[in-house]
Amino acid sequence: MRLITEKVSVGSSPVIIGGGSRIVVQTMCNTHTDDIGGTLAQCRAMVRAGAEMIRITVPGLQDVPHIKAIRDSLRAEGIYVPIVADIHFSAQTAIEVARVVDKVRINPGNFHKDHNIARERFRELIEVCRECGTAIRIGINHGSLGEYITNLYGNTPQAMAEAAMEWVRMCVEADFRQVVISLKSSNTVSMVQGYRELVAMMQREGTIFPLHVGVTEAGGGDSGRIKSCVGIATLLEEGIGDTIRVSLTEDPVNEIPVARYLAARYSGAAMPQLPERELRMLDAACTWGPKLMRHEIDDIPAEVDPYLRDEIMQAARRRFYKPEYIACPGCGRTMYDLQKAYREVMEKTSCFKDIVIAVMGCIVNGPGEMADADWGYVGEGGGKVSIYKKNVPVLRHVPEDEAPDRLVALIREDRKEQGMQ
């Protein structure tokens, strides 16, 4: 049974999120926002593939006219897909852009350095959104909860839920209900736990905003698809989730068929055409993943393809057969060829087990979002990479063509020190 949430209406040809309506499929551009032509081309391809809402990063005030031009051009072409501005580190940009887009996503963990100022600026944002008919997504990320919350609750699923509730209460107090919430983590267990706790808290307080569900930094290829399906399907089976994003370290258009498959499986939308192999993989992930996550089973039947068994067991964090890779999907802030870096790092490090490696697109947000990774590989721009060990930079300005080998050398050295292979 679907959880009944508030009904949020986004855009001029409105897309309805929540209130029992069908699951909305969304994605995000990975182009630079000042590349208006490139971003428009990507938006058109996304809409053709079935995207019902598109997010675009707005790194600063200078990009507000760019996102406006993109939205206006789409409207002039008769494409009314709601446009969502993605904001980090600039409350002022959120407030300005709220006048020109359909929805604004903020991350409370980095909305403003000073917690009290963050709350004040958020109240200002609510008033602009009320005036302009703009919706808000409160987008909590496990990796960037902010000091205020981690000091109180540590780095836990409960911390994500508590972090969201503070902003939920501000919206309820202001009687502003055009609000969607997300609590993303690259760890499927933390992500599922966080959403369950948040739902229980909202139920206790009497206002249940719709939920945007996704596994963040899931990586790409089969692993990224399986990890996303295991996390998202577990929640959708429990009736939690009104809009979804499958984030892959690939062309974002590739996310849409996977998200449409999930929306069709759990809310009766039309099933997309998928290649036989992919369909079998997604079916297996959605059949066995939620049962593993709820500990209803401890293994997958032996008749299932052994490769899929390994991948699904790892996605549900029940058995690890290879390194755990975290990789952001990339966005308009990405500072290098992220998909190439991800492939190279995977090729060179696949021999190590029991290790978490993050490949992140930008030095601004990447280090803060890597959460509990053992090693981080982060694009600096200018053909250079920074390598992190447990969130501490250990090598900076490494040329991109040398960086994968430098990472491997550091891992080997570290394992030798610890007496591991």
- The residue (of 136 and 360) whose beta carbon lies closer to ligand SF4 is 360
CB of 221 to ligand SF4, least distance (A): 17
Contact 128, 99 (CB under 8 A): yes
Q: Looking at 103-111, 123-131, 330-338, 409-417, which segment touches ligand SF4 (CB under 6 A)?
A: 330-338
- Token duo for residue 39: 């971003």
Question: Residue 388: beta bridge partners?
Answer: 376, 393
Residue from the set 235, 285, 328, 359 that interacts with ligand SF4 by CB under 6 A: 328
Residue from the set 139, 329, 376, 404 that interacts with ligand SF4 by CB under 6 A: 329
Around Cβ 339, how many Cβ atoms within 10 Å?
20
CA distances from 308 to 213, 226, 268 (A): 23, 9, 26
Question: How far apart are the C-alpha atoms of 323 and 311, rounded to whole Å?
Answer: 11
Parallel/antiparallel/unpaired status of strands 135-141 and 103-106: parallel
Residue nearest ligand SF4 (C-beta atom): 361
CB of 361 to ligand SF4, least distance (A): 3
CB of 403 to ligand SF4, least distance (A): 16
Residues 141-170 that bind ligand SF4 (CB under 6 A): none
Residues in the chain: 421
Residue by residue, what is the 3-state secondary structure of 126-168? HHHHHHHCCEEEEEEEHHHCCHHHHHHHCCCHHHHHHHHHHHH
CB of 92 to ligand SF4, least distance (A): 18
CB of 8 to ligand SF4, least distance (A): 24
Q: Looking at 1-9, 152-160, 235-243, 327-335, which segment touches ligand SF4 (CB under 6 A)?
A: 327-335
- The residue (of 86 and 197) whose beta carbon lies closer to ligand SF4 is 86
> How many chain residues touch ligand SF4 (CB under 6 A)?
12
Residues 349-368 that bind ligand SF4 (CB under 6 A): 360-362, 365-366
- What residues contact 90, with CB distance under 8 A and at least 6 apart? 59, 60, 61
Q: Looking at 164-172, 231-239, 303-311, 322-330, which segment touches ligand SF4 (CB under 6 A)?
A: 322-330
Residue 16: half-sphere exposure toward Cβ, Cα within 13 Å: 8
Backbone angles phi and psi of 238, in degrees to 5: -90, 5
Contact 244, 23 (CB under 8 A): yes
CB of 169 to ligand SF4, least distance (A): 27
Q: Is 98 in the site for ligand SF4 (CB under 6 A)?
A: no
Site string for ligand SF4, 369-388 (x = CB under 6 A): x-------------------
- The residue (of 356 and 360) whose beta carbon lies closer to ligand SF4 is 360
User: Helix, strand, or coil here: 398?
Assistant: strand
CB of 216 to ligand SF4, least distance (A): 9
Question: Residue 9: beta bridge partners?
Answer: 16
Question: How far apart are the C-alpha atoms of 237 and 17, rounded to whole Å?
Answer: 18
CB of 177 to ligand SF4, least distance (A): 28
- The residue (of 254 and 267) whose beta carbon lies closer to ligand SF4 is 254
For residue 108, what is the DSSP state?
G
Which residues of the shown chain bind ligand SF4 in the complex (CB under 6 A)? 328-331, 333-334, 360-362, 365-366, 369
